[in-house]
Amino acid sequence: MSIVSAIVIGVGNEYRHDDGAAIEVINRLRRRHLPGVSLVTTDGEPSRLIDLWEGAELAVVLDAMRTQRPDPGRIHQVTLDEAVADPGTSGSSHGLGLGEAVDLGRALGRMPPRLIILAIEGADFSAGLGFSPQVADGIHDLESLVLTELARV
Amino acid sequence: MARDHRPLVERGLALKKAGNEILELVGGRAIHPVNVRIGGFYRAPARAKLIPLAERLRWAGDAALETVRWVAGFDFPDFEHDHQMFALSLPGTYAIEAGTPTYRGVLGEPVGATRSFPVSGFEQHVVEEQVPHSTALHARLAGERYLVGPTARYTLNSQWLSEPARAAAREAGLGTECRNPFRSILVRAVEIVYAVDEALRIIEAYEPPDRPWIDVEPHAGVGYGATEAPRGVLYHRYDLDADGLVTAARIIPPTSQNQAAIEDDLRRFVMSRLDLGDERLQWECEQAIRNYDPCISCSTHFLDLSVIRTGDGPAERLAGHR
B38-97 pLDDT per residue, tens: 999 999 999 999 999 999 999 999 999 999 999 999 999 889 988 999 999 999 999 999
Provide mean pLDDT across the span B9-26: 93
Of A13, A87, A94, the CB nearest to B300: A87
- The Cα B145–Cα B268 span in angstroms is 14
Give the Å distances, CA to CA, from B307 to A23, B126, B281, B311.
45, 34, 10, 13
| CB atoms near residue B277 (< 10 Å) | 9
**Whole-prediction pTM:** 0.85
| CB atoms near residue B294 (< 10 Å) | 14
Per-position b or e across A14-29, b if 16+ CB within 10 A of its CB: bebbbbbbbbbbbbeb
B251 touches chain A (CB under 8 A): no
Q: What angle do CA B183, A108, A147 make, to 5 degrees?
A: 125
Residue A65: beta bridge partners? A121
> A86: number of CA atoms within 13 Å, CB side?
9
- Closest chain A C-alpha to B86 CA, distance in angstroms: 25
Contacts of B202 (CB under 8 A, 6+ apart): none
Map out the domains of chain A as residue ranges: 6-151
The CATH superfamily holding the domain A6-151 is: HybD-like (3.40.50.1450)
Q: Are A110 and A54 in contact (CB under 8 A)?
A: yes
Which chain B residue shows the shortest CA-CA distance from A46?
Answer: B13
Cβ distance of B301 and A87 shorter than 8 Å: yes
Bridge-based pairing state of the strands A6-11 and A58-65: parallel
Optimal mutation site among A47, A86, A103, interface B, most CBs of chain B within 10 A: A47
Angle at which helices A133-151 and A21-30 cross, to 10°: 50
pLDDT digits (tens, 9 = 90+) for B237-292: 999 999 999 999 999 999 889 989 988 988 998 888 888 888 888 888 888 888 88
- The Cα B61–Cα B165 span in angstroms is 10
Judged against a pLDDT cut of 60, whether residue A115 lies above it is answered with yes
Could you tell me the pLDDT band of residue B112, with boundaries at 50, 70 and 90? low
- Please give the pLDDT value at position B316: 45
Optimal mutation site among B300, B301, B321, B322, interface A, most CBs of chain A within 10 A: B300
Q: Is the ipTM of this complex over 0.85?
A: no
